[in-house]
Structure 1
């Protein structure tokens, strides 16, 4: 059972959340959502179409206000300037597969300050890092088949990259669910 809505909970200890988007059932209307998995806060009170014709699974925004979108059906990650409709492929885009230039159902993504793109590659059971302008990525977690061993992941559904110091050393946190 899906809720087709986005609910906000405040940190003040309130037990009930507030619906901040949709609640009108599944659909493509400006007042509807279809299996939402991620959101960004814009401050608007009305729906707006930022990008269409995309199977958006995850999205994020970098320090320079570029919007990054994970398209699970095209197996690619694109970067958009706000207002732009076409975008630029920054990871994947070589069709579905297990190669270092491919994804198999990419889901969540994270972009660091150097515009490196980190992607949860769901069906390949791995997390990948794509440097800015790279033609292929590197596996940073998993990639050894699915499972629960230290070198394995099972359908990673989220990730977060934490900068540890000014020399750009990072720690990668993977959420599996």
Structure 2
């Protein structure tokens, strides 16, 4: 499969080889902050269970969409933009390891955050001291 984030339609689609329309996986309900919405989805990570993690850039959060679900789960951020350990400020690249630990580039805070599965706040693992 090929997974594509569409920043203009605020959705993520999955394509099989040769498909032109694809299957809606996440979002697709206009820009917004609801659990069934995204606002400028950027980077994606797909785990072995085909759950899709989405950097929801303007909502300052990372969402997890389990296979077949109509709503996502906030797994990091979602507390408004900011620099507290519960907040993110414009999420970018992300990775999820075999234990379900999320690593996310928190771009406007100039740091990389680690969120263990089920955590209410993250840990700064790189940066966080401003630009440079």
The question of a shared fold, defined as TM-score above 0.5 by the shorter chain, is answered with yes
- Number of residues paired by the alignment? 107
Deviation of the 1:83 alpha carbon = 1.6
Report the secondary structure of 1:139's partner residue.
Answer: strand
Q: Give CA-to-partner distance per residue, 1:36-74, whole Å, 9 cap, x none.
A: xxxxxxxxxxxxxxxxxxxxxxxxxxxxxx000000000
Which of 95, 101, 104 is the equivalent residue of 1:174? 104
2:124 aligns to what?
none
Gaps of 5+ in 2: 108-132
1:95 and 2:30 equivalent?
yes
Give distance in 1, aligned partners of 2:92 and 2:104. Answer: 8
1:120 aligns to what?
55
Deviation of the 1:176 alpha carbon = 1.9
1:8 aligns to what?
none
1:80 aligns to what?
15
Give distance in 2, aligned partners of 1:173 and 1:76. Answer: 22
Q: Which protein has the bigger strand share?
A: 2
Report the secondary structure of 1:102's partner residue.
Answer: coil
Structure 1 outlier segments of 4+, above 6 Å: none
RMSD: 0.6
Report the secondary structure of 2:93's partner residue.
Answer: strand
Report the secondary structure of 1:163's partner residue.
Answer: coil
Give distance in 2, aligned partners of 1:151 and 1:176. Answer: 12
TM-score (normalizing by structure 1): 0.60
Q: Larger RCO: Structure 1 or Structure 2 (Cα < 8 Å, ≥ 6 residues apart)? A: 2
Q: Give CA-to-partner distance per residue, 1:60-100, whole Å, 9 cap, x none.
A: xxxxxx00000000000000012211100001111110100
